[in-house]
Amino acid sequence: MEKIHQKSTQTLFDKQFISKEQHEQIITYRSLNIFSLNAELKIFLYLSVLLFTSGIAVLIYQNIDTIGHSIVISLISIITFVCYYFSFKKAPLFQKSQTHFESPIMEYIVLAANLLTCILIGYLQLQYNTFGTNYGLATIIPTSIGLFCGYYFDNKNVLSLAITGLAAYIGLTVSPQSLLQNEFYNTDFLSYAAIGLGAILILWNYYCSKIKLKSHFALVFLTFALHLISISCLNNIIDSTYFLLFSAILGITTNYFYHFSYKLKSISLFIFSVLYAFVGLNISLFKIVDYFDIGDMLEFILVLSPFYSIGAIILFIKMIKNFNSEIKK
């Protein structure tokens, strides 16, 4: 790796993109062998917030009979208030463009404040039935707070949490556990609601890009939209009699995200859009074969399947290489 860096630096100098003084400064800096721990520290900060909020939940569960509900609520409220106090005190003025705290630690204090808000409201509903049978309020209130904080503090983690809450409000649970339990298969309404929410996120992102309101949130909105729409379409392609309609929706959606991934230079958006399109195409082809009952072709398809798989893998690798070369231009 060091030889590659030296060769790259020398190439820049030979092509006169950098001066002799800059060339020497770069060589001197790299000889110090300094490396950044920024990403590692942020991961530890993120984990510490999750462990702290999880620890509070475990503490409540194990000691609820001895501590008392009023004391628990008071402690959570005080900690939440302190987190919000420092967040607003240290936050820069709101701007439509991207902003940053002076200290990156504050971003995780904002995240802790929102997680504690969810815990507090959920605890009040569970223990005191504060919102009665209107369980949606217990979800939409922390979701609204999260959306406000996500934009005001320019925090993508909080925004992701708020979008998840929005999905929960309309009857979805966007989590790995729910996907493993196939909650999308429970009712058709959940699939349609997921597609609708995904479309709303796309339209909101388009509107924000037009008025230049936190345009850097685009990847967050589009990632949620891609997974919600694609998973729901795949579910309906498998089960619904209108699989051709949902195949068309999936095709249009993945094509949109495929082209948008180049604009955002997002490899994750590119890979998932291609994978969802590939899976949807194959399921649709099998549904068509099954619909027309052309069983005689089954043996021929099985013979071609290894070549088809190898070709698909080669094409996928080539597409990734072309994507990387395009975004580097």
DSSP run (H or E) holding 132: none
Ordered alpha helix ranges (H), 129-155: 135-152
Domain boundaries, the chain: 1-35, 36-169, 174-329
pLDDT of residue 180: 46
pLDDT in tens, the chain (329 residues): 455 556 666 676 677 767 777 767 777 766 666 656 666 677 777 788 778 777 777 776 676 666 677 788 888 899 999 999 999 999 999 999 999 888 888 888 999 999 899 888 888 887 788 887 777 788 899 999 999 999 999 999 999 999 999 988 877 544 444 544 555 445 567 788 889 999 999 999 999 999 999 999 999 999 999 999 999 999 888 877 788 899 999 999 999 999 999 999 899 999 999 999 999 999 888 887 777 766 566 666 777 778 888 898 899 999 998 998 888 76
Report which of 222, 216, 223, 284 is spatially closest to residue 250, judged by C-alpha positions: 284
Q: What is the spatial distance between Cα 230 and Cα 228, in angstroms, rounded to a whole number? A: 6
Report which of 188, 136, 145 is spatially closest to residue 167, judged by C-alpha positions: 136
pLDDT of residue 103: 83
Give the CA dihedral 183, 186, 192, 193, nearest 10 degrees: -60
30's CB contacts (< 8 A; 6+ apart) are 2, 5, 6, 9
